[in-house]
Chains A and B, each alone.
Chain A
Amino acid sequence: MSEVTVEKRDWQGREVLRWTGRAVHIDADEILLEARFARPTLRLTYLTLAQGDRMLEHYYTRRWYNVFEIYAGESSQLKGWYCNIARPAHMHGSLIESEDLALDLFVSPEGTSLLLDEEEFAGLPLSCDDRAQAAAGLADLQALVREHRPPFEALAQQGRPLDRG
Protein backbone atom coordinates (compact mmCIF):
# COMPACT_ATOMS: atom_id res chain seq x y z
CA MET A 1 0.00 0.00 0.00
CA SER A 2 2.64 2.51 1.04
CA GLU A 3 5.30 2.00 -1.63
CA VAL A 4 6.77 5.20 -3.02
CA THR A 5 9.66 5.97 -5.36
CA VAL A 6 12.37 8.53 -4.75
CA GLU A 7 13.96 10.18 -7.74
CA LYS A 8 17.20 11.94 -6.89
CA ARG A 9 18.04 14.58 -9.47
CA ASP A 10 21.01 16.86 -9.96
CA TRP A 11 20.80 20.66 -9.80
CA GLN A 12 19.61 20.73 -13.44
CA GLY A 13 16.80 18.30 -12.77
CA ARG A 14 18.46 15.30 -14.46
CA GLU A 15 17.78 11.96 -12.83
CA VAL A 16 20.79 10.58 -10.96
CA LEU A 17 19.35 7.70 -8.98
CA ARG A 18 16.02 6.23 -8.01
CA TRP A 19 14.97 3.83 -5.29
CA THR A 20 11.81 2.69 -3.58
CA GLY A 21 10.72 2.85 0.02
CA ARG A 22 7.58 2.78 2.10
CA ALA A 23 5.85 5.93 3.23
CA VAL A 24 5.52 5.98 7.01
CA HIS A 25 4.09 9.44 7.46
CA ILE A 26 2.92 12.07 5.01
CA ASP A 27 1.91 15.57 5.93
CA ALA A 28 2.03 19.04 4.42
CA ASP A 29 5.64 19.65 5.43
CA GLU A 30 7.26 16.27 5.44
CA ILE A 31 7.26 12.86 3.88
CA LEU A 32 8.92 10.23 6.04
CA LEU A 33 9.81 7.01 4.37
CA GLU A 34 11.60 3.84 5.25
CA ALA A 35 14.01 2.36 2.74
CA ARG A 36 16.85 -0.15 2.64
CA PHE A 37 20.31 0.60 1.32
CA ALA A 38 20.27 -1.64 -1.75
CA ARG A 39 23.70 -1.10 -3.26
CA PRO A 40 26.90 -3.03 -2.46
CA THR A 41 28.78 -1.99 0.69
CA LEU A 42 29.99 1.58 0.48
CA ARG A 43 33.01 2.40 2.62
CA LEU A 44 33.54 6.06 3.34
CA THR A 45 36.04 7.39 5.82
CA TYR A 46 33.31 8.50 8.22
CA LEU A 47 30.63 5.87 7.51
CA THR A 48 30.20 2.39 6.10
CA LEU A 49 26.87 1.69 4.44
CA ALA A 50 26.03 -1.98 4.09
CA GLN A 51 23.38 -3.56 1.93
CA GLY A 52 20.17 -3.80 3.97
CA ASP A 53 20.92 -0.84 6.25
CA ARG A 54 17.66 0.80 7.23
CA MET A 55 17.12 4.41 6.27
CA LEU A 56 14.43 6.62 7.71
CA GLU A 57 14.39 9.35 5.10
CA HIS A 58 12.91 12.74 5.93
CA TYR A 59 11.91 14.77 2.88
CA TYR A 60 10.74 18.29 3.53
CA THR A 61 8.44 20.18 1.19
CA ARG A 62 9.53 23.65 2.35
CA ARG A 63 13.10 23.13 3.48
CA TRP A 64 16.29 23.08 1.44
CA TYR A 65 17.55 19.73 2.67
CA ASN A 66 16.62 16.15 3.43
CA VAL A 67 17.87 13.95 6.25
CA PHE A 68 18.49 10.19 6.25
CA GLU A 69 18.66 8.50 9.63
CA ILE A 70 20.77 5.40 9.09
CA TYR A 71 20.41 2.26 11.17
CA ALA A 72 22.57 -0.87 10.90
CA GLY A 73 20.47 -3.57 9.25
CA GLU A 74 17.50 -4.60 11.37
CA SER A 75 19.04 -3.29 14.58
CA SER A 76 18.40 -0.04 16.36
CA GLN A 77 22.08 0.88 16.15
CA LEU A 78 22.23 4.41 14.78
CA LYS A 79 25.06 4.97 12.29
CA GLY A 80 24.37 8.66 11.93
CA TRP A 81 22.43 11.18 9.87
CA TYR A 82 23.26 11.85 6.26
CA CYS A 83 21.89 15.24 5.23
CA ASN A 84 21.66 16.38 1.63
CA ILE A 85 21.31 20.04 0.77
CA ALA A 86 18.59 19.97 -1.86
CA ARG A 87 15.71 22.01 -3.22
CA PRO A 88 12.42 21.42 -1.36
CA ALA A 89 11.03 17.99 -2.23
CA HIS A 90 8.02 17.60 -4.51
CA MET A 91 5.61 14.73 -4.30
CA HIS A 92 3.52 13.77 -7.32
CA GLY A 93 1.51 10.64 -6.76
CA SER A 94 3.93 8.07 -5.40
CA LEU A 95 7.00 9.86 -6.78
CA ILE A 96 9.16 12.02 -4.54
CA GLU A 97 11.48 14.30 -6.49
CA SER A 98 14.54 15.69 -4.81
CA GLU A 99 16.96 18.01 -6.62
CA ASP A 100 20.33 17.63 -4.98
CA LEU A 101 22.73 20.54 -4.71
CA ALA A 102 25.86 18.46 -3.98
CA LEU A 103 26.56 19.88 -0.53
CA ASP A 104 26.16 17.28 2.23
CA LEU A 105 26.42 17.17 6.00
CA PHE A 106 27.12 13.99 7.91
CA VAL A 107 26.29 13.96 11.62
CA SER A 108 27.70 11.12 13.71
CA PRO A 109 25.70 9.56 16.58
CA GLU A 110 28.03 11.46 18.93
CA GLY A 111 27.07 14.76 17.33
CA THR A 112 30.17 15.59 15.34
CA SER A 113 29.41 17.12 11.96
CA LEU A 114 31.30 16.77 8.73
CA LEU A 115 30.65 19.08 5.82
CA LEU A 116 31.12 17.29 2.50
CA ASP A 117 31.53 18.27 -1.15
CA GLU A 118 31.87 21.98 -0.52
CA GLU A 119 34.06 22.40 -3.59
CA GLU A 120 31.58 20.66 -5.86
CA PHE A 121 28.83 22.88 -4.50
CA ALA A 122 30.98 25.99 -5.05
CA GLY A 123 31.53 24.92 -8.66
CA LEU A 124 27.83 24.56 -9.53
CA PRO A 125 26.52 27.44 -11.66
CA LEU A 126 23.59 28.10 -9.32
CA SER A 127 21.56 31.28 -9.22
CA CYS A 128 22.23 33.68 -6.37
CA ASP A 129 18.87 32.81 -4.88
CA ASP A 130 19.53 29.03 -4.98
CA ARG A 131 22.93 29.55 -3.39
CA ALA A 132 21.49 31.72 -0.63
CA GLN A 133 18.66 29.27 0.06
CA ALA A 134 21.15 26.37 0.19
CA ALA A 135 23.36 28.27 2.62
CA ALA A 136 20.34 29.11 4.79
CA GLY A 137 19.30 25.44 4.66
CA LEU A 138 22.71 24.36 5.86
CA ALA A 139 22.65 26.91 8.69
CA ASP A 140 19.18 25.70 9.66
CA LEU A 141 20.40 22.08 9.72
CA GLN A 142 23.44 22.95 11.80
CA ALA A 143 21.21 24.75 14.31
CA LEU A 144 18.96 21.68 14.59
CA VAL A 145 22.02 19.53 15.28
CA ARG A 146 23.41 21.97 17.84
CA GLU A 147 20.08 22.27 19.66
CA HIS A 148 19.23 18.55 19.39
CA ARG A 149 15.97 19.38 17.69
CA PRO A 150 14.07 16.92 15.47
CA PRO A 151 15.19 14.83 13.74
CA PHE A 152 18.33 14.94 15.89
CA GLU A 153 16.77 14.38 19.33
CA ALA A 154 18.91 11.30 19.84
CA LEU A 155 21.85 13.69 20.37
CA ALA A 156 20.18 14.87 23.55
CA GLN A 157 20.72 11.39 24.92
CA GLN A 158 24.48 11.87 25.03
CA GLY A 159 24.28 11.57 28.80
CA ARG A 160 22.83 8.09 28.51
CA PRO A 161 24.65 5.59 26.35
CA LEU A 162 23.19 5.17 22.86
CA ASP A 163 21.85 1.79 22.07
CA ARG A 164 24.53 -0.08 20.24
CA GLY A 165 22.10 -2.72 19.04
Chain B
Amino acid sequence: MREVSTVLEVREVRKSYEGASLLRGISFRLARGETACLLGPSGSGKSTLLRIIAGLEPAEAGTVMWEGMDLAPVAPHARGFGLMFQEYALFPHRNVLENVAFGLRMQNLPRAETEIRAREALARVGLADFSQRKVTDLSGGEQQRVALARALAPRPRLLMLDEPLGSLDRGLRDQLLADLRRILALDGTPALYVTHDQEEALAIADRLLLIHDGRIQRSGTPAEVYADPGEAWVAQFLDMGTLVQARVIRSSPLRAQSELGVLAPRCTHTPHAIGVNLTLLVRRAPLTIERTAHRRYNVVRGIIQEVSFRGDSYRATLDSSTHRLAFDLPHPAAPGTALSIHLAPEAVLCLK
Protein backbone atom coordinates (compact mmCIF):
# COMPACT_ATOMS: atom_id res chain seq x y z
CA MET B 1 0.00 0.00 0.00
CA ARG B 2 2.86 2.33 0.83
CA GLU B 3 4.27 1.97 -2.70
CA VAL B 4 1.02 3.24 -4.15
CA SER B 5 0.90 6.43 -2.14
CA THR B 6 4.58 7.40 -2.37
CA VAL B 7 4.99 10.69 -4.21
CA LEU B 8 8.56 11.72 -3.45
CA GLU B 9 11.37 9.24 -3.20
CA VAL B 10 14.92 10.21 -2.27
CA ARG B 11 17.36 7.38 -2.80
CA GLU B 12 20.98 7.24 -1.61
CA VAL B 13 21.63 10.95 -2.15
CA ARG B 14 25.22 12.01 -1.55
CA LYS B 15 26.85 15.41 -1.53
CA SER B 16 30.14 16.83 -0.29
CA TYR B 17 31.00 20.40 0.53
CA GLU B 18 34.56 21.71 0.31
CA GLY B 19 35.92 18.18 0.30
CA ALA B 20 33.96 17.05 3.37
CA SER B 21 31.10 14.60 3.06
CA LEU B 22 27.88 16.46 3.90
CA LEU B 23 25.22 13.96 2.84
CA ARG B 24 26.29 10.31 3.01
CA GLY B 25 23.50 8.40 1.38
CA ILE B 26 20.13 9.86 2.31
CA SER B 27 17.05 7.78 1.51
CA PHE B 28 13.43 8.36 2.44
CA ARG B 29 9.95 8.44 0.97
CA LEU B 30 7.14 10.88 1.31
CA ALA B 31 3.55 9.73 0.95
CA ARG B 32 0.69 11.74 -0.49
CA GLY B 33 -0.74 14.02 2.17
CA GLU B 34 2.15 13.45 4.54
CA THR B 35 4.15 16.12 6.36
CA ALA B 36 7.70 14.97 7.00
CA CYS B 37 10.03 17.04 9.08
CA LEU B 38 13.78 17.08 8.47
CA LEU B 39 15.11 17.81 11.92
CA GLY B 40 18.76 18.32 12.71
CA PRO B 41 21.27 20.80 14.07
CA SER B 42 22.60 23.56 11.84
CA GLY B 43 25.26 22.25 9.51
CA SER B 44 23.68 18.80 9.33
CA GLY B 45 22.98 19.21 5.60
CA LYS B 46 19.20 19.43 5.82
CA SER B 47 18.95 22.66 3.82
CA THR B 48 21.32 21.25 1.21
CA LEU B 49 19.06 18.23 0.93
CA LEU B 50 16.09 20.53 0.39
CA ARG B 51 18.02 22.40 -2.32
CA ILE B 52 18.78 19.11 -4.05
CA ILE B 53 15.09 18.13 -3.97
CA ALA B 54 14.13 21.59 -5.26
CA GLY B 55 16.64 21.17 -8.09
CA LEU B 56 18.76 24.12 -7.00
CA GLU B 57 21.75 21.85 -6.55
CA PRO B 58 22.76 18.57 -8.16
CA ALA B 59 23.39 15.51 -6.04
CA GLU B 60 26.77 13.84 -6.52
CA ALA B 61 25.12 10.45 -6.37
CA GLY B 62 21.65 9.08 -5.83
CA THR B 63 18.28 10.03 -7.24
CA VAL B 64 15.28 12.17 -6.42
CA MET B 65 12.07 10.85 -7.93
CA TRP B 66 8.55 12.16 -8.20
CA GLU B 67 5.94 9.45 -8.71
CA GLY B 68 8.67 7.17 -10.01
CA MET B 69 10.16 9.71 -12.43
CA ASP B 70 13.78 10.79 -12.02
CA LEU B 71 13.83 14.56 -11.49
CA ALA B 72 17.51 15.01 -12.41
CA PRO B 73 16.75 16.45 -15.88
CA VAL B 74 13.88 18.63 -14.61
CA ALA B 75 14.77 22.30 -13.97
CA PRO B 76 13.72 23.78 -10.61
CA HIS B 77 10.95 25.87 -12.12
CA ALA B 78 9.45 22.86 -13.88
CA ARG B 79 9.13 20.73 -10.73
CA GLY B 80 5.87 22.23 -9.54
CA PHE B 81 7.08 22.54 -5.95
CA GLY B 82 6.10 25.41 -3.69
CA LEU B 83 8.69 27.06 -1.48
CA MET B 84 8.41 28.97 1.73
CA PHE B 85 11.33 30.37 3.65
CA GLN B 86 11.92 32.42 6.75
CA GLU B 87 12.54 35.42 4.49
CA TYR B 88 9.47 35.42 2.34
CA ALA B 89 9.66 38.84 0.62
CA LEU B 90 6.14 40.07 0.10
CA PHE B 91 5.46 42.88 -2.36
CA PRO B 92 5.10 46.02 -0.23
CA HIS B 93 3.09 47.82 -2.92
CA ARG B 94 0.48 45.17 -3.40
CA ASN B 95 -2.34 44.58 -1.02
CA VAL B 96 -2.80 41.23 0.71
CA LEU B 97 -5.04 39.80 -2.01
CA GLU B 98 -2.65 40.87 -4.79
CA ASN B 99 0.26 39.27 -2.97
CA VAL B 100 -1.60 35.97 -2.76
CA ALA B 101 -2.79 36.24 -6.36
CA PHE B 102 0.87 36.47 -7.45
CA GLY B 103 1.17 32.71 -7.11
CA LEU B 104 -1.82 32.25 -9.42
CA ARG B 105 -1.15 34.84 -12.10
CA MET B 106 0.36 32.39 -14.58
CA GLN B 107 -2.43 29.87 -14.58
CA ASN B 108 -4.32 31.88 -17.19
CA LEU B 109 -7.47 32.03 -15.10
CA PRO B 110 -10.08 34.71 -15.63
CA ARG B 111 -9.49 37.59 -13.25
CA ALA B 112 -12.60 36.74 -11.21
CA GLU B 113 -11.50 33.12 -10.80
CA THR B 114 -8.03 34.22 -9.68
CA GLU B 115 -9.62 36.44 -7.07
CA ILE B 116 -11.88 33.65 -5.82
CA ARG B 117 -8.92 31.31 -5.44
CA ALA B 118 -6.80 33.94 -3.75
CA ARG B 119 -9.64 34.66 -1.32
CA GLU B 120 -9.99 30.92 -0.61
CA ALA B 121 -6.28 30.70 0.18
CA LEU B 122 -6.57 33.72 2.47
CA ALA B 123 -9.53 32.17 4.26
CA ARG B 124 -7.53 28.99 4.84
CA VAL B 125 -4.83 30.92 6.68
CA GLY B 126 -7.42 32.81 8.69
CA LEU B 127 -7.06 36.16 6.91
CA ALA B 128 -10.37 36.30 5.04
CA ASP B 129 -10.99 39.89 6.11
CA PHE B 130 -7.52 41.15 5.27
CA SER B 131 -7.68 41.09 1.47
CA GLN B 132 -7.53 44.86 0.91
CA ARG B 133 -5.03 45.60 3.67
CA LYS B 134 -1.52 46.77 2.86
CA VAL B 135 1.04 44.11 3.73
CA THR B 136 3.23 46.78 5.32
CA ASP B 137 0.50 47.34 7.93
CA LEU B 138 0.46 43.69 9.02
CA SER B 139 2.24 42.09 11.96
CA GLY B 140 5.06 39.61 11.39
CA GLY B 141 2.76 36.66 11.99
CA GLU B 142 0.13 38.02 9.61
CA GLN B 143 2.75 38.59 6.93
CA GLN B 144 3.91 35.01 7.38
CA ARG B 145 0.33 33.84 6.82
CA VAL B 146 0.13 35.87 3.62
CA ALA B 147 3.35 34.22 2.43
CA LEU B 148 1.87 30.83 3.27
CA ALA B 149 -1.34 31.63 1.38
CA ARG B 150 0.75 32.75 -1.61
CA ALA B 151 2.66 29.45 -1.56
CA LEU B 152 -0.52 27.37 -1.17
CA ALA B 153 -2.76 29.18 -3.67
CA PRO B 154 -1.35 27.54 -6.83
CA ARG B 155 -1.79 24.15 -5.15
CA PRO B 156 1.82 22.96 -5.48
CA ARG B 157 2.32 19.20 -5.66
CA LEU B 158 4.87 19.49 -2.86
CA LEU B 159 5.35 22.28 -0.37
CA MET B 160 8.87 22.78 0.95
CA LEU B 161 9.33 24.91 4.04
CA ASP B 162 12.76 25.88 5.34
CA GLU B 163 12.66 27.25 8.90
CA PRO B 164 9.59 29.26 7.86
CA LEU B 165 8.75 30.46 11.36
CA GLY B 166 12.27 31.15 12.55
CA SER B 167 11.77 34.84 13.13
CA LEU B 168 8.53 34.65 15.12
CA ASP B 169 8.21 34.55 18.88
CA ARG B 170 7.15 31.33 20.57
CA GLY B 171 3.44 32.03 21.13
CA LEU B 172 2.86 33.16 17.57
CA ARG B 173 4.88 30.25 16.28
CA ASP B 174 2.79 27.69 18.19
CA GLN B 175 -0.42 29.15 16.81
CA LEU B 176 0.88 29.28 13.25
CA LEU B 177 2.17 25.71 13.56
CA ALA B 178 -1.24 24.45 14.63
CA ASP B 179 -2.83 26.33 11.72
CA LEU B 180 -0.24 25.05 9.28
CA ARG B 181 -0.82 21.48 10.39
CA ARG B 182 -4.58 21.87 9.97
CA ILE B 183 -4.20 23.50 6.53
CA LEU B 184 -1.80 20.84 5.23
CA ALA B 185 -4.07 18.06 6.49
CA LEU B 186 -7.10 19.69 4.88
CA ASP B 187 -5.37 20.27 1.55
CA GLY B 188 -3.62 16.92 1.48
CA THR B 189 -0.55 18.74 0.17
CA PRO B 190 2.56 16.69 0.92
CA ALA B 191 5.12 18.82 2.71
CA LEU B 192 8.76 18.73 3.67
CA TYR B 193 9.47 20.92 6.65
CA VAL B 194 13.03 21.74 7.68
CA THR B 195 13.83 22.93 11.17
CA HIS B 196 16.44 22.68 13.91
CA ASP B 197 13.74 23.19 16.56
CA GLN B 198 12.52 19.99 18.24
CA GLU B 199 9.24 21.41 19.52
CA GLU B 200 8.39 22.85 16.12
CA ALA B 201 9.12 19.48 14.52
CA LEU B 202 6.93 17.58 17.00
CA ALA B 203 4.06 19.99 16.46
CA ILE B 204 4.07 19.79 12.66
CA ALA B 205 5.34 16.36 11.66
CA ASP B 206 3.47 13.21 10.73
CA ARG B 207 6.94 11.76 10.48
CA LEU B 208 10.31 12.87 11.78
CA LEU B 209 13.49 12.39 9.79
CA LEU B 210 16.37 13.09 12.15
CA ILE B 211 19.44 14.07 10.22
CA HIS B 212 22.95 14.13 11.63
CA ASP B 213 26.40 13.47 10.31
CA GLY B 214 25.05 13.25 6.76
CA ARG B 215 22.67 10.43 7.51
CA ILE B 216 19.09 9.94 8.60
CA GLN B 217 19.66 8.61 12.09
CA ARG B 218 16.06 7.82 12.86
CA SER B 219 12.76 8.10 11.08
CA GLY B 220 9.28 7.51 12.43
CA THR B 221 6.23 9.20 13.86
CA PRO B 222 7.06 11.49 16.78
CA ALA B 223 5.54 8.88 19.13
CA GLU B 224 7.65 6.07 17.66
CA VAL B 225 10.82 8.12 17.90
CA TYR B 226 10.09 9.03 21.50
CA ALA B 227 9.26 5.44 22.38
CA ASP B 228 12.54 4.25 20.89
CA PRO B 229 15.09 6.88 19.83
CA GLY B 230 17.46 4.10 18.74
CA GLU B 231 20.64 6.15 18.44
CA ALA B 232 22.32 7.87 21.37
CA TRP B 233 22.59 11.02 19.29
CA VAL B 234 18.81 11.09 18.77
CA ALA B 235 18.12 10.77 22.49
CA GLN B 236 20.56 13.58 23.22
CA PHE B 237 19.33 15.87 20.45
CA LEU B 238 15.73 15.43 21.59
CA ASP B 239 16.82 16.02 25.18
CA MET B 240 15.07 12.87 26.35
CA GLY B 241 17.14 12.25 29.46
CA THR B 242 20.60 11.18 30.57
CA LEU B 243 22.93 8.74 28.81
CA VAL B 244 24.63 6.17 31.01
CA GLN B 245 27.25 3.54 30.17
CA ALA B 246 26.61 0.06 31.56
CA ARG B 247 27.81 -3.52 31.31
CA VAL B 248 25.52 -6.54 31.03
CA ILE B 249 25.60 -8.66 34.17
CA ARG B 250 22.61 -10.85 33.38
CA SER B 251 21.09 -11.47 29.97
CA SER B 252 17.61 -12.70 30.81
CA PRO B 253 15.95 -10.73 32.25
CA LEU B 254 18.42 -8.06 31.17
CA ARG B 255 20.35 -6.39 33.96
CA ALA B 256 23.26 -4.04 33.55
CA GLN B 257 25.68 -2.56 36.04
CA SER B 258 26.18 1.18 35.75
CA GLU B 259 27.60 3.93 37.93
CA LEU B 260 24.01 4.62 38.96
CA GLY B 261 23.61 1.05 40.20
CA VAL B 262 21.95 -1.93 38.55
CA LEU B 263 19.52 -1.01 35.80
CA ALA B 264 16.92 -3.13 34.00
CA PRO B 265 16.82 -1.66 30.50
CA ARG B 266 14.16 -2.31 27.89
CA CYS B 267 15.85 -3.50 24.78
CA THR B 268 14.40 -4.07 21.32
CA HIS B 269 17.43 -5.74 19.78
CA THR B 270 18.96 -9.18 20.14
CA PRO B 271 19.77 -10.58 23.58
CA HIS B 272 23.05 -9.36 25.00
CA ALA B 273 25.77 -11.62 26.35
CA ILE B 274 27.12 -11.00 29.80
CA GLY B 275 29.99 -8.53 29.73
CA VAL B 276 28.73 -6.53 26.73
CA ASN B 277 28.88 -2.74 27.05
CA LEU B 278 25.63 -0.80 26.54
CA THR B 279 24.62 2.83 26.25
CA LEU B 280 21.42 3.39 28.19
CA LEU B 281 18.97 6.23 28.25
CA VAL B 282 17.49 7.19 31.60
CA ARG B 283 14.37 9.14 30.72
CA ARG B 284 13.31 12.26 32.51
CA ALA B 285 9.85 10.73 33.00
CA PRO B 286 7.77 8.82 34.02
CA LEU B 287 9.03 8.03 37.49
CA THR B 288 8.00 7.10 40.95
CA ILE B 289 9.76 8.64 43.87
CA GLU B 290 10.26 7.04 47.24
CA ARG B 291 12.53 7.92 50.05
CA THR B 292 13.58 4.35 50.74
CA ALA B 293 14.64 1.75 48.27
CA HIS B 294 12.70 -1.50 48.01
CA ARG B 295 14.25 -2.78 44.85
CA ARG B 296 17.76 -3.72 43.87
CA TYR B 297 17.58 -2.22 40.39
CA ASN B 298 16.32 0.92 38.65
CA VAL B 299 16.85 2.99 41.77
CA VAL B 300 18.79 6.22 41.45
CA ARG B 301 19.93 8.00 44.59
CA GLY B 302 21.16 11.55 44.74
CA ILE B 303 20.80 15.09 45.97
CA ILE B 304 18.45 17.54 44.33
CA GLN B 305 20.43 20.45 42.91
CA GLU B 306 18.11 22.71 40.97
CA VAL B 307 14.38 22.75 40.42
CA SER B 308 12.44 24.78 37.87
CA PHE B 309 8.71 24.93 37.31
CA ARG B 310 7.61 23.65 33.89
CA GLY B 311 3.87 24.22 34.02
CA ASP B 312 2.77 20.60 34.34
CA SER B 313 5.86 19.30 36.14
CA TYR B 314 9.05 20.29 37.91
CA ARG B 315 12.36 19.88 36.11
CA ALA B 316 14.91 18.77 38.68
CA THR B 317 18.61 18.08 38.48
CA LEU B 318 19.73 15.18 40.64
CA ASP B 319 23.41 14.79 41.51
CA SER B 320 24.17 11.09 41.89
CA SER B 321 27.89 11.77 42.56
CA THR B 322 28.78 10.29 39.17
CA HIS B 323 26.08 11.86 36.99
CA ARG B 324 23.86 14.87 36.90
CA LEU B 325 20.47 13.60 35.81
CA ALA B 326 17.50 15.64 34.69
CA PHE B 327 14.07 14.45 35.79
CA ASP B 328 10.56 15.77 35.46
CA LEU B 329 8.94 15.40 38.87
CA PRO B 330 5.20 15.65 39.53
CA HIS B 331 5.84 17.48 42.82
CA PRO B 332 8.32 20.15 43.80
CA ALA B 333 11.45 19.08 45.70
CA ALA B 334 13.69 21.40 47.66
CA PRO B 335 17.33 21.71 46.59
CA GLY B 336 19.54 19.75 48.96
CA THR B 337 16.97 16.98 49.48
CA ALA B 338 18.27 13.42 49.22
CA LEU B 339 16.02 11.35 46.99
CA SER B 340 15.74 7.79 45.78
CA ILE B 341 14.04 7.73 42.45
CA HIS B 342 12.44 4.49 41.35
CA LEU B 343 12.56 4.42 37.61
CA ALA B 344 9.54 2.96 35.87
CA PRO B 345 10.32 -0.05 33.62
CA GLU B 346 9.92 2.08 30.48
CA ALA B 347 12.24 4.79 31.82
CA VAL B 348 15.45 2.88 31.07
CA LEU B 349 16.10 2.11 27.45
CA CYS B 350 18.86 0.43 25.47
CA LEU B 351 20.40 2.52 22.71
CA LYS B 352 22.65 1.54 19.82
* Docked complex Cα distance between A153 and B150 (Å): 16
Among candidates A1, A27, A92, A150, residue contacting B51 with C-beta atoms closer than 8 Å: A1
Which residues from chain B contact A102 at a C-beta distance below 8 Å? none
Which residues from chain B contact A90 at a C-beta distance below 8 Å? 75
Bits for B126-146, please: 1 = Cβ < 8 Å to A, else 0.
000000001010000000000
B154 interface residue (CB < 8 Å to A):
yes
Which residues from chain A contact B77 at a C-beta distance below 8 Å? 26-31, 61, 91
* Docked complex Cα distance between A27 and B83 (Å): 10
Q: Is the CB of A93 within 8 A of B56?
A: yes
* Docked complex Cα distance between A151 and B101 (Å): 11
Given known contacts A61-B77, A91-B76, is B88 in contact with A24 (CB within 8 Å)? yes
A154 interface residue (CB < 8 Å to B):
yes
Which residues from chain B contact A61 at a C-beta distance below 8 Å? 77
Q: Is the CB of A93 within 8 A of B57?
A: yes
A76 interface residue (CB < 8 Å to B):
yes
Size category, B interface = 35 or more
Q: Is the CB of B83 within 8 A of A2?
A: yes
Which residues from chain B contact A85 at a C-beta distance below 8 Å? none
- B118 → A minimal CB distance (Å): 12
Within 8 A of B (CB), among A53-68: 56, 61
**Which of B16-24, B92-100, B339-347 faces chain A?**
B92-100
Q: 26 pairs across A/B with beta carbons < 8 Å?
A: A1-B50, A2-B56, A2-B83, A2-B162, A4-B56, A23-B56, A23-B83, A24-B89, A25-B83, A25-B151, A28-B77, A34-B87, A69-B91, A69-B93, A76-B92, A76-B136, A78-B93, A91-B77, A93-B58, A93-B76, A94-B51, A150-B98, A151-B91, A154-B94, A163-B92, A163-B136
Within 8 A of B (CB), among A77-101: 78, 90-94
Q: Is the CB of B57 within 8 A of A94?
A: yes
Q: Which residue of B is nearest A24, CB measured?
A: B89
Q: Is the CB of B75 within 8 A of A91?
A: yes
Size category, A interface = 20 to 34
Given known contacts A27-B154, A163-B134, is B194 in contact with A1 (CB within 8 Å)? yes
* Docked complex Cα distance between A76 and B137 (Å): 11
Q: Is the CB of B91 within 8 A of A26?
A: no
Which residues from chain A contact B78 at a C-beta distance below 8 Å? 28
A157 interface residue (CB < 8 Å to B):
yes
**Which of B102-110, B174-182, B236-244 faces chain A?**
B102-110
Within 8 A of B (CB), among A93-129: 93-94
Taking A1-B47, A26-B77 as given, write out 6 further A-B residue pairs in contact, using a Cβ cutoff of 8 Å, ordered by the A residue number: A1-B50, A2-B56, A2-B83, A56-B91, A93-B58, A150-B105
